[in-house]
Amino acid sequence: MKSVNVRELKNNPSEALRQAREDLVVVMNRDKADALLVHLDDEKLLGMPGVRLALATALFRDGNLPVGRAARLAGLTAVEFIQYLSRSGIPVVTGNAEEVRRDAETLDTWLAPSS
């Protein structure tokens, strides 16, 4: 296991990523372990059953990846991923009733035949 401090990580993040390819890297903040860098090797961690889907789901749910990119990470089509999210109770579309009404009006305008 290797370690870097926050300053080193900020100054040279690529070095920390290189180290993470070889072993786990602990990020130290004022003599306390603050984070852990793990290399996501396709054959190891990401190759384990369910890991890609779980990672993609968490990244989408937290707003860090759009649905299409999350689906690709999960190894699914967008439709399959959306169906999975729906079965898991994770909303694919968020917003309040007013936003949905405005979006529907905009869509109606776009779809209306032009005169």
Residue 4: CATH number of its domain: 3.40.1620.10
Strands 2-5 and 25-29: parallel
The verdict on 61 and 22 lying in the same domain is no
The verdict on 4 and 53 lying in the same domain is no
- The parent domain of residue 5 ranges over 1-39
Q: Is the pLDDT of residue 91 over 80?
A: yes
DSSP conformation class of 38: -
Count: domains in the chain: 2
| pLDDT tens digits, one per residue of 17-62 | 999 888 889 999 988 998 888 887 757 777 778 889 999 999 999 9
The verdict on 55 and 12 lying in the same domain is no
Residues listed for the chain: 115
User: Which tokens hold the place of 98?
Assistant: 């007013």
The verdict on 67 and 115 lying in the same domain is yes
pTM over 0.95: no
The verdict on 59 and 81 lying in the same domain is yes
The answer to whether 59 touches 48, Cβ cutoff 8 Å, is no
The verdict on 113 and 57 lying in the same domain is yes
Output phi, psi for 84, to 5 deg.
Answer: -60, -45
Distance in angstroms (rounded) separating the CA atoms of residues 41 and 21: 8
Strands 32-37 and 2-5: unpaired
The verdict on 63 and 115 lying in the same domain is yes
Please report the pLDDT score of residue 48 as a whole number: 79
The verdict on 81 and 54 lying in the same domain is yes
- 25 pairs with which residues across the strands? 2, 37
The verdict on 79 and 105 lying in the same domain is yes
Please report the pLDDT score of residue 42 as a whole number: 58
Confidence of residue 115 (pLDDT cuts 50, 70, 90): low
Please state the rounded mean pLDDT for residues 65-91: 94
The verdict on 17 and 52 lying in the same domain is no
DSSP conformation class of 16: H
